Structure 1
Amino acid sequence: MLFQQQKIQLSEYSRLYHLIVPKDNLLRKINEMIDFSFIYNELLDKYCSNNGRTAESPVRMFKYLLLKTIDVVERSRYDMSFKYFLEMSPEEDVINSSSLTKFRKLRLKDMDLLNLLIGKTVSIALEKGIIKSKSIIVDSTHSLSRSNPYSPLEVLRQRSKLLRKAVYSMDEDFKDQMPQKNESNDIRKEIAYCKALQKLIESDTTLSEIPAVKEKLNLLKETVEDTQENYIISKDVDARVGHKTADSSFFGYKTHLAMTEERIIAAAVVTSGEKGDGPELPKLLNQARSNGMEVDTIIGDAAYAGKENLKLKDQQGNKIKIVAKINPAITHGARKEEEKFDYNKDADMFVCPAGHLAMYKRVQGKKIHRCNQTMTYYFDVEKCKVCPLRDGCYKPEAKSKTYSVSIRTDEHIEQEVFQQSEYFREKSRHRYKIEAKNSELKNVHGYDRADSYGLENMKMQGALAIFVVNLKRILKF
């Protein structure tokens, strides 16, 4: 049961806050600037109105989450600025830390917290006249998964060994029937061995139904399926391998950001790590608009100068100015949506839908007919042969797998002229701001690594971190 109780309760000790928590304290300033009742209203239907024990205030629980980068529950027992921010009486005891976990998992479930919180801060910035520009600066930043991927080869070998041991404990004579082990480091051969082992044990219905054997058998089957799909194994099933450069990669997530020239984040999209930057631009633009922004210019790097992005229009139907230097690699030509690969600007290579990076590239066509030139990207066919998405993408027995893009289009020729303008040069000077914002999120608010497993938890972490940095920026004005 929930009733609205959001202000500090009357207490003979309340005057301590005026003595101990200074007026320039960040938490005091946030409390005075923003009315958190929007959280109460948003979560009202998540609680029962006429049954059960009285629930903790959702506003207070949300504030605990804002403070969660510190050992919040224990510190809020002694830190008066924390208690003031949480609207507690000075002598009031803190919550049980397990309540915060339940609030996050049960009350905030199925809620677009990311867009809600960004929208709230953007509306405050617009009301106070802080946002004056009609430009957004776009970029992405990566966050490492809480879990590192294991070598699939090692995991398959470990789990097939556990299955064999379970079988031998029931029937020692089964050793003579076992398929020959794979002694190489070829993952395809290891998968083939595991499948043969699995098939053999399943053929003995009596043995395969023994609980100790059945458990290990099912575990191996699941591992083989996961390995065939992702080529990685991790507790974090939503995380993926992304590429920072042609020679370096990370395992985790990407947060795609759109920020105003005044350094207020106006939109964000959280994806798994392998996603390209360019395709997320329309989503960022739509979110920024829905949060109240009027956008006529987008500032970014080469990843955002794809042909489709150069066609984007503002709400009046005028072409949006894309302040991003063109790169011939990012146009997709006339391919169908399902045939498109993502361009990775850091590696300067394309990534296939399964997440594999091209090995190298070559220009095709004569230079004098540059309009018809294409850039061809070459992929590792050994990966294609066992890829779960190979149907319709890789032809059986083909010696190579390539992906070609046209180098110049009318949109890019027009963009090339725009790059020479003074407006383009002046707006380009603002791009560094978003790199500083990415650094603040990572180094000050712990956004360099995920706190929990899963994409939804990463979105929640992003929502809280962005909400705080936006509030801090607004207070500076």
Structure 2
Amino acid sequence: MSNPKITNPNYITEQTSLPLEIQEKTCVSKKANYAPTFIPYNNQQGISLFDIQDLIPRNHVSRVIDEMIESIEDEVFFSHYKGGGRSSFHPKMMTKVILYGYSKKVYSSRGIENLLSENIPAKWLAAGQEPDHRTINRFRSQQFKNMMDSLFEEMIQLLIEQNYITMENYFLDGTKIEADANKYSFVWKKATKNFEGKLKEKIQETIQHIQEVAESELIQSTIKEVKEEVTPEQLEIIAQELEGKVITLTEAIEAEEDVIVRKEIRSQRSVLKKPLKLIRENFLPRIDKYRQQHEIYGDRNSFSKTDHDATFMRMKDDHMKNGQLKAAYNVQMATENQFILFYSMHQRPTDTRCFIPHLEKLAASSLPMPKTVIADAGYGSEENDLYALGDEKEPRFDFLIPYGMYLKEKSRSYKKNIKHAKNWDYNEKDDHFICPNGRKVEFKKYLNKKNASGYVQSLKVYECEDCSDCPLKALCTKAKGNRQVQWNPIFEEMKAKAKTALECETKSRLYLQRKIDVESVLGHIKGNRSFRRFLLRGLDKVHTEFGIVALAHNLLKVAGIRRLLSREKNESIKTGENDSFSPDIF
């Protein structure tokens, strides 16, 4: 029985022949069949922008700049303008543009000008206006200079109101920033004094020569009035009298016909013309030059010919290790939560003598005084500590400042060194030390010593009773006579208090915070922001320029915190956590 569905009468049971050669089919990849595709692009096609600020992110630094500047009263910006004349660019717009340029590491006026034509946030801040680089530089050098202090103080007050800072902890440090001056434009006070001394000797020699050859009674009487130094007025009188003599001899030469007589008169005139030329072309200009140099020096030892306010200082970036000096300014800056609270510019290279002027300037401002000032050992001195304590019963502020030898005194080698009087025994009742050899080092006298700033220290001088046959003398002192010790009881008491404070756990933790706070800001400005050299010249202008840098840093900090908090808020919403959000966490 067969199944009709599967049984086919035409079914061939015989084996069919297979071809001897099998044709191979090539496998073609499917990807090779596809042509590359791109997103449509045509930069010639017109684009309609309804609002340029839609292209700027929510927490962009340009929005923070706009918000902060607009929240400051107009009087801060308008008070330095005179009425009349052509309409000026709005000072708030110019301020925003310059601050935005500095926040983008664009410090030159031409660079800021390019931002206004190429950068979208800059265009938005300027409302489409494009002041040229001359206008930008003029505003930065003049108007900004006049309003910088009040603008910076208003900005700090805003940060206090928004709880970014509290002005409780005042982390102070200094850094040197190179001036816009040529490397080899130095003028040294010591060299000026040497040149002055040689000039005075030359003037005295010339005066003696004039006294011998001149017959004028006025010259003789003027020379007799000269005591130790010849004044420029006396030199001017002598020069005028010599000029009169030279003119008289010149007229005599022209009137005389005898050649021999004319030759004699001409020789007399040449004798007077030589000292006259020295006075007019050498002595008087050099006296005036050295006088101007002393006015520029002030209490400094050097200045730059390019920027007279810059002082030559030893910088850290000494790649050749040869101690080369550069014209620079010492910037004193304080921070809290890595916000710059206050700053001041100084012409002294050391931080010690900048402490009091910096805090005096802070006290004269509208900002509140801090509760605690934290600084490194570079600020530790008797004068600074007494200033912090104040003249009244209550101190001006608490301070946490180690003295210069604090870390060294903790070392084992210092404690074992017998030459240090701090390692000796002291008899408070009889007021004498006991040296390592067991001999008395008794009080001899009081000594007042004035330092470079004019501060007078009261020292007690102790002297060993006899060091002649002491076997430890070579290890104790290099003096030929008996060993003397100069002891400062006031500063020693200050150092003891500082040591106790630094060994306290709470204050020690606060002092360690100084490195994280202020030194990070200095590294950010000079390292990350690449601001290592001023573009403007003069003390007032560099004060303005660093103020712009400080404002830009604070605004970048605000923008960064807002972005961070916004990101945390979005993440908490996604994870379903409490979405309460408060910016007042700092």
Tell me which interval the TM-score lies in, with the shorter structure as reference length.
Answer: 0.5 to 0.7
The alpha-carbon deviation at position 14 of structure 1 amounts to 6.9
Q: Which moved more, 1:116-125 or 1:313-322?
A: 313-322
Measure, in 2, the Cα distance between the counterparts of 1:13 and 1:120: 39
Render the CA deviation track for 1:357-401: whole Å, top value 9, x for unaligned.
xxxxx989995559989999999xxxx9xxxx9xxxxxxxxxxxx
Corresponding residue for residue 59 of structure 1: 92
Corresponding residue for residue 181 of structure 1: none
Corresponding residue for residue 242 of structure 1: 313
Equivalent of residue 403 in structure 2, options 326, 344, 348: 326
Q: 1:14 to 1:254 in 2, by over 3 A?
A: farther
The alpha-carbon deviation at position 189 of structure 1 amounts to 5.2
| The structure with more radius of gyration | 2
Count of aligned residue pairs for this structure pair: 373
What secondary structure sits across from 1:69 in the alignment?
coil
Render the CA deviation track for 1:393-449: whole Å, top value 9, x for unaligned.
xxxxxxxxxxx8837432222222222211221112111121111122223445422
Q: Which moved more, 1:429-438 or 1:21-30?
A: 21-30
Aligned pairs for 1:70-469 within 5 A: 70=108, 71-86=111-126, 88-89=127-128, 92=129, 94-109=130-145, 111=146, 113=148, 115-132=149-166, 134-147=168-181, 148-150=183-185, 152=187, 190-195=195-200, 204-205=239-240, 206=243, 220-225=286-291, 229=297, 230-243=301-314, 249-260=325-336, 262-274=337-349, 276-277=351-352, 279-281=354-356, 283-284=358-359, 287=362, 292-293=367-368, 295-311=370-386, 312=388, 317=394, 320-327=397-404, 367-368=424-425, 406=488, 408-432=491-515, 433-469=517-553
- TM-score w.r.t. the length of structure 1 is 0.64
- TM-score w.r.t. the length of structure 2 is 0.53
The alpha-carbon deviation at position 237 of structure 1 amounts to 1.1
Measure, in 2, the Cα distance between the counterparts of 1:421 and 1:365: 22
Q: 1:328 to 1:112 in 2, by over 3 A?
A: farther
Corresponding residue for residue 69 of structure 1: 107
The alpha-carbon deviation at position 276 of structure 1 amounts to 3.5
Measure, in 2, the Cα distance between the counterparts of 1:467 and 1:453: 20
Q: 1:209 to 1:59 in 2, by over 3 A?
A: farther
Q: 1:280 to 1:17 in 2, by over 3 A?
A: same
Q: 1:299 to 1:249 in 2, by over 3 A?
A: farther
Render the CA deviation track for 1:240-277: whole Å, top value 9, x for unaligned.
233568956542211111111x1111111111133543
Measure, in 2, the Cα distance between the counterparts of 1:307 and 1:81: 51
Measure, in 2, the Cα distance between the counterparts of 1:366 and 1:426: 28
- Paired AA for residue 80 in structure 1: I
Measure, in 2, the Cα distance between the counterparts of 1:288 and 1:266: 13
Q: Which runs of 5+ in 2 are unaligned?
A: 1-46, 208-234, 244-272, 317-321, 407-418, 427-431, 434-442, 455-485, 562-586
Measure, in 2, the Cα distance between the counterparts of 1:460 and 1:13: 40
| Conserved? CA contact 2:169–2:370, under 8 Å | yes
Measure, in 2, the Cα distance between the counterparts of 1:308 and 1:186: 31
Measure, in 2, the Cα distance between the counterparts of 1:289 and 1:127: 21
Measure, in 2, the Cα distance between the counterparts of 1:73 and 1:82: 10
The alpha-carbon deviation at position 470 of structure 1 amounts to 1.0
| Conserved? CA contact 2:69–2:92, under 8 Å | no
Corresponding residue for residue 395 of structure 1: none
Corresponding residue for residue 351 of structure 1: none
Corresponding residue for residue 21 of structure 1: 56
Q: 1:328 to 1:31 in 2, by over 3 A?
A: same
Q: 1:84 to 1:219 in 2, by over 3 A?
A: farther
| Conserved? CA contact 1:242–1:275, under 8 Å | no
- Paired AA for residue 107 in structure 2: T
Q: 1:295 to 1:285 in 2, by over 3 A?
A: farther
What secondary structure sits across from 1:431 in the alignment?
helix
Measure, in 2, the Cα distance between the counterparts of 1:378 and 1:250: 29
Aligned identity (percent) is 14
| Conserved? CA contact 2:311–2:327, under 8 Å | yes
Corresponding residue for residue 559 of structure 2: 475
Q: 1:37 to 1:186 in 2, by over 3 A?
A: closer
| Conserved? CA contact 2:373–2:398, under 8 Å | yes
The alpha-carbon deviation at position 467 of structure 1 amounts to 0.6
Corresponding residue for residue 22 of structure 2: none
What secondary structure sits across from 2:307 in the alignment?
coil
Q: 1:135 to 1:191 in 2, by over 3 A?
A: same
